[in-house]
Chains A and B, each alone.
Chain A
Amino acid sequence: MIRFAAYVCRRLALALPAVLILSVLIFLLQRMLPGDPALALAGGENVDAQTLGELRHKYGLDLPVYVQYLHWVGGALHGYLGVSMRNDIGVTQLLVGKLGITLQLAFASMMLALAVGIPLGIVAATRCGRIADVLATAFALCGISVPHFWLGILLVLAFCVHLNWFPASGYVPFSEDPLRCAMGFVLPSIVLGTGIAGVLMRHMRSAMLDALSADYVRTARAKGLTETRVVLRHALRNALMPIVTLGAIEFGQLLAGAVLTEQVFSIPGFGKLMVDSVLNRDYQVVQGLVLVSSVMFLLVSLAADMLYFVINPRLRS
């Protein structure tokens, strides 16, 4: 247990400089983008130079870049990430509001991907070269290859316009209407989940094939264990190691927002916010979003490492 705690502390300590370097990168890369945020904010309106100057002053854009950075980092350490230039809402408030939506979508998609990808991978490996393997591999290939945007539109046309089973777009908070909230996530989760399920299935199949040809599996069979027990108890546990890593990466990416899926289904998550904020040069929002997404990614990676401890006894020793 002490070894485990020390391991977690060491990982957290390593994450701190990573976040700091990341904050500098986020800030500088933003400033290197062409386009004047004040002009973008005013858009094509008939505004004069005085108004543009006032907008720059209001959002601190007239300060030297290093001063802007220090203000931002100072605020971030106190939980204040600035104000959105587009709608004058606090960035922290904005992100907190969207975090729940992004998490719901990410969890739903990941659950679907795991529920489909892992069993299919196991079936494909245990029925290698047979029809079940071919079908599972074809499913994985389709899941990976089909563009999310296209699949989303097809699902909307079929299940929303013609069958009217699900809402075509939008988000309803769980607190307001749990049923509508759940219904709203079904199609987006299918779109995101099938892609990840395809990836997981291929890796699961490959890892299971390796495990099934290992000596310890042969020994288990020789001992007279049932095939189900050999597969689920012995081979699966070892084959899950790469899946944990892969799952963590995929889940981390989902937490950064699924741009196209959110766009198709008009789900107000991180991805949609990121695209709009970059296009509008809403610096504070982009900085806050990237920072929060990165920290979440680091936390997910840490959680995956911790899971290794649970799955792999060798690490504990």
Chain B
Amino acid sequence: MAQTSQYCTFYLDKLLFGIELRGVQEVLRFVEMTPVPLAAGEVSGLINLRGQIVTAIDLRRRLELEERPKEMLPENVVVRRRPLWMRARRHWEKSQNRSIR
């Protein structure tokens, strides 16, 4: 079955991974992060994405891979976006109790 999709691929500890492009909003080079104390280990911090606050997840930790060597900066950040139906649902939920009348 010929069915092609585009993927955003990246390496994590020498392993190649891919995310379907549809689920990717943008790719950021190194950005500054604000750590969140008490958060789960895989939360690496908060990013200021043009005025929006985005939670960053350390994929190495999430997948229980080896920790990133200290001298290595987490260079690439992939901003994931939620699937459309989830956003639509959120939108609908909001419209249920938040529409200005």
A binds B: no
